[in-house]
Structure 1
Amino acid sequence: MKVLYTALLALLLFPSCRRQSGDIDSFLHNAESLMNEHPEDALSIIRHIDRRKIYSSASEARYALLYSQALDKNYVDVTSDSLTAVAVNYYDRHGTKHERAMAHYYQGRVFSNAGNFDAAIRSYSLAEDAASGTDDYYLLGLINNAVGNLHFEQYDLDEALQRDQQAASFFHRAQSPYNEALAYIGVGTVYSLKGDNEQMEIVYNKAIEIYKELIKYCPYMKI
C-alpha cells in the first residue's frame, strides 16, 4: 500500500513540477509593454527570467524574440543568432505575419552586426515580405532603414537612397516623427555623396522642420 501511495503521489506531483510558472508569461508581458518607452527596464526584466523554467515552445519563442528586441533597443550588438534562431524557427511555423516579420528583422540585425551582408539582406527580405501583409508601418520603416544602411556601407547609393526614402515614408505613416527625421538625414547624406546639393538641402530642411515641431513638445531636445 505504501508503494502504491508513493507512486500515485509522484504522478500527481510530476506535472506540477513541469508546469510553467504563470510569472514567466507575466514578466514577458510586462517587458513587452515597456519595450518602446523604457527598453532598459524591459531588458532588466527579461534578464531576471530563469530560462530553465520556460517549458512552452510558444513562451520560449516569445522570450527569445523579446530578449533580442530589448538587446537591440539598448544598443547591445549581438553577433550570435542563438536567440533569434529560436524565434525564427517557431514563428515561421506557428506565428502571425507580424511575429514572423519581427523574428526575421531581429535576426537580420544580428547578421548585420556580424558583418554578414548576404545573410542580413536575406533576413530583411523575409521580414519585409511578412510585414507587407500588416499595417505595421513602423516595422516597415525599420526594415527599409536597415537595408538602406547596408547598401550605404556597400556604397550602393542608389539603393540606399531608395530605401531611406521609403523608410521616411513609412515612419511618416506610423506617426514616428523622430525616426522620419533621421531617415531624411540619411537621404540628405546620400544626396550629398551623389553631389546633388539642392536635393540635400531640401531633405535636410524637412528634417529640421520636424525637429522644430518636436522641440515644441520636448523643449529640452537639441537639434
Structure 2
Amino acid sequence: MKTTILAMLLLASCILAACTRSSPNIQLVQADSLIQKFPDSALHFLQGIQPKGLHLAADRAYYALLLTQVKDKNFIHQTEDSLIRIAVQYYDSTKNTAMQARAHYYLGCIWRNKDDHPEALKEFFKAITYSKRIFDNSLTGHIYNNIAYLYYLQRLNEQADSIYQITEKLAILEKDSILWADALSQRGMINIRKGRECYQKAEEKILHAFNISCNMNQRSMIAKTAYSLSLLYGRMNMGEKAVEFAKLNINNQDNSNALDRAYLVLGDAYYKISQYDSASIYLNKSLHSEDHYTKAGAYMRLADIAKKQGLLEKALEMERKYSSYLDSAQQKQQSAEIVTAEKNILIQRKQSEFKANLDQVYYYIAIGIVIFLTLFLALWKRHKKEVINFKRKEIEINKQTEELLQQKNEQINFLQKEIIIPMMLRFSRFMAAMIILIFPIMKVLNVDCLI
C-alpha cells in the first residue's frame, strides 16, 4: 500500500514538473512582437495585463522591460527607473546577455530623460558590451545613436559626428532606413553648428534623410528632418522655405515634448520674413518648454521683435530673461562630466579586458602544463616500455647468440673429430708403410757397414 502511494505521488510530481511553464508568458511574447510596428497597440495590450497576476520573477522582469520599452516608443517621457531596474537586476543575475543589452539600454534612456548624461552614458556602454556579444547590430546601432545624441547635446560635435558615422554603417548593414535617416539628419545638424561654410553639406545630408523618411512614410522622422531643414533655411535667410518646413514639422509631430522646439523654429522662421505677429504667437507658445535653451532662444527673438516695434522696456525685460535662461542652460552643460565618465568607462573596460586576458593567459598556461605533463607521462611510459622491450630483446639475442655459439662449437668439435682421426689413421698407415719400405734398406745398409 505504501509503495502504491509513493508511486502515485512520484507520478503526480513528474506530471506537475512536466506541466510547469519554463517559456515566457505568451501574452508578453505577443506584446513584444507588436512593439516595433504597432507601439500604441502594444502599450494598450500591456496596460491590460495585471502585474499582480505575474507570479514568476522571469515574467515580472519581462513585463517591466516591455512596458519601459513601449513607453519609450510612444514618446512617453519617463524619469522613474524603479520599473526598469526590476528587469536589470533579474537579467544581470541570470546572465541573459540578450535581455541584459535591452534592459541596460532602456535604463540609459531613463537617465537620458533625467538629464543625467554621464549615468546614461555608463548604461549605454554596458548595453553595447552585451549587444556586441550577441552580434545584435540593430540594437548596437540604436545605442550608438543615443550616445552620439548625448555628445551632440553637450556640443561635443566631433565625437558626436564620429559615432553617428558608426551608426550610419550599422543602419545600412541592417537595412534600417529610419535609423539611417536619423543619423544623417543629426550629422546635418552638426554641420549647421559648424557655420556657413558647412551649410551645403548639411542640406545634402538632411534632404537625403527627409527623402528616406517620406518614402517610408515615417511621420516622426519626417517631423524631425523637417525641423532640421527649417532651422537650416532660417540660417540661410531662406525664410519662406523655413516656414514651409517648420509647418511640416508641426503637422507630423507625434512627440508632444518636441512641440515647443517646433514652435520656436516656426516663430523664428516668421521672424526671418518679418511677420512679427505670427512670430510672437509661436515664440510665446514655445515658452511652455522646460528646456532652458528653448526659452532662451524664444526670449532672444521676442526681444528683437520688441526692439523693432519700439517697445524698449519690453525688449530689456526679454533680454534679461534671455540672459538668465542662457546662463542656466550653460550651467547644466555636462561636457566635463561626460568626458570624465567616458574615461572611467574606458578605464573600467580596459581593466576588465586585462583581467579577462589575464584569466585567459592563466587558463592557457594551465592547459599547456596539463598537455605538457600528459605528453611527458605518455612519452616516459613509451620510453620505459621501449627500454623494457629493448632489454628483453637484448636478453633474447644474447640467448640466441649463446645457443648459436654452442651449436658452432659442437659443429667444430664434430668436424675436428671427423678430420683429425682419419688423418691420424692415414699418417699411421703411412708411417707403417714407410717402415716397411725403409727397414730392408736399413738392413742392407747395416750389413754393408759391418763389412
Pair in the same fold by TM > 0.5: yes
Is 2:162 the partner of 1:162?
yes
Which structure 1 residue ranges, 5 or more long, are not aligned? Answer: 1-15
Structure-2 change in CA distance of 1:129 and 1:21 (3 Å): closer
Structure 2 counterparts to residues 54-93 of structure 1, below 5 A: 54-93=54-93
2:275 maps to: none
CA distance in 2, matches of 1:151, 1:217: 28
Q: Which residue of 1 aligns with 2:94?
A: 94
2:181 and 2:155 mapped to 1: Cα distance? 22
74-83 or 87-96, which moves further after superposition?
87-96
State the distance in 1 between where 2:131 and 2:21 align: 32
* In structure 1, distance between residues paired with 2:147 and 2:209: 23
Q: Deviations over 1:60-99 (max 9, x none)?
A: 1110111110000000111011111011101112143221
How far is 1:210 from its partner? 5.6
> After the TM superposition, which segments of 4 or more aligned residues of structure 1 sit over 3 Å from their partners?
19-22, 195-198, 200-204, 206-223
| Deviation at residue 215 of structure 1 after TM alignment | 4.7
1:10-159 alignment, distance < 5 Å? 25-159=25-159
Deviations 1:163-200 (A, max 9, x none): 212112211111111220111110111122123744x6
Flag the 1:166–1:196 CA change in 2: closer, same or farther, 3 A: farther
Q: In structure 1, what is the equivalent of residue 325 of structure 2?
A: none
Query: How far has the Cα of 1:216 moved from its partner?
Result: 5.3
Equivalent position of 2:407 in the other structure: none
Q: Give a deviation string over 1:17-73, Cα, whole Å, max 9, x none.
A: xx9999x91221111111100000111111111101111111111101111100000
Count of aligned pairs between the two proteins: 205
Q: Partner residue of 1:208?
A: 207
1:132 alignment partner, SS class: helix
Quick check: 101-110 or 87-96, which moved more? 87-96
In structure 2, the CA distance between the partners of 1:20 and 1:67, relative to structure 1 (3 Å rule), is: farther
Task: Tell me how far 1:218 sits from its aligned partner.
Answer: 5.1
Relative to structure 1, is the Cα distance of residues 41 and 147 closer, same or farther in structure 2, using a 3 angstrom cutoff?
same
Q: What's the secondary structure of 2:72's corresponding residue?
A: helix
Q: Is the 8 A contact 1:171 1:179 kept in 2?
A: yes
Query: Identity percentage over the alignment?
Result: 25
Q: Which moved more, 1:35-44 or 1:186-195?
A: 186-195
**Structure 2 equivalent of residue 5 of structure 1:** none
Aligned-partner Cα distance in 2 for 1:196–1:92:
48
Report the structure number with the largest CA radius of gyration.
2
Distance 2:218 2:155 in 1: 37
Q: Which one has more relative contact order, counting CA pairs under 8 Å at least 6 apart?
A: 1
Gap change, CA 1:201 and 1:177, over 3 Å in 2: farther
Distance 1:87 1:150 in 2: 24
Letter matched to residue 105 of structure 1: Y
Q: In the TM superposition, what is the alpha-carbon distance from 1:135 to its structure 2 partner?
A: 2.6
Decide whether the 8 Å contact of 2:191 with 2:201 is kept in 1.
no
Question: Using a 3 Å threshold, how does the CA distance of structure 1 residues 215 and 146 change in structure 2: closer, same or farther?
Answer: closer
Q: How far apart, CA to CA, are the structure 2 residues paired with 1:176 and 1:103?
A: 21
CA distance in 2, matches of 1:164, 1:219: 20
CA distance in 1, matches of 2:121, 2:115: 11
Residues 182, 209 of structure 2: 8 Å contact kept: no
Q: Name the aligned partner's letter for residue 135 of structure 1.
A: F
Alignment CA distance shift 1:201-1:98 (3 Å): farther
**1:122-146 alpha-carbon deviations (Å, 9 max, x no partner):** 1111001111112322211111111
Q: Is the 8 A contact 2:98 2:130 kept in 1?
A: yes
TM-score normalised to structure 2 length: 0.42
Structure 2 distance, partners of 1:31, 1:176, is 22
Question: If the length of structure 1 is used for normalisation, what is the TM-score?
Answer: 0.81
* Of 189-198 and 68-77, the range deviating more from structure 2: 189-198
Distance across 1 between alignment mates of 2:154 and 2:210: 29
How far apart, CA to CA, are the structure 2 residues paired with 1:214 and 1:80?
31
Are the equivalent residues in 2 in contact too, given 1:108–1:120 (CA < 8 A)?
yes
Q: CA RMSD in A?
A: 2.9
Contact 2:85–2:107 (Cα < 8 Å) also in 1: yes
> Residues 136 and 174 of structure 1 are in contact (CA less than 8 Å); yes or no, is this contact kept in structure 2?
no
Say if 1:56 and 1:219 are closer, same or farther in 2 by CA, change over 3 A: closer
Q: Is the counterpart of residue 195 in structure 1 residue 181 in structure 2?
A: no
Mapped partners of 2:100, 2:217: distance in 1 = 35
Whether the 8 Å contact between 1:81 and 1:110 is mirrored in structure 2 is yes
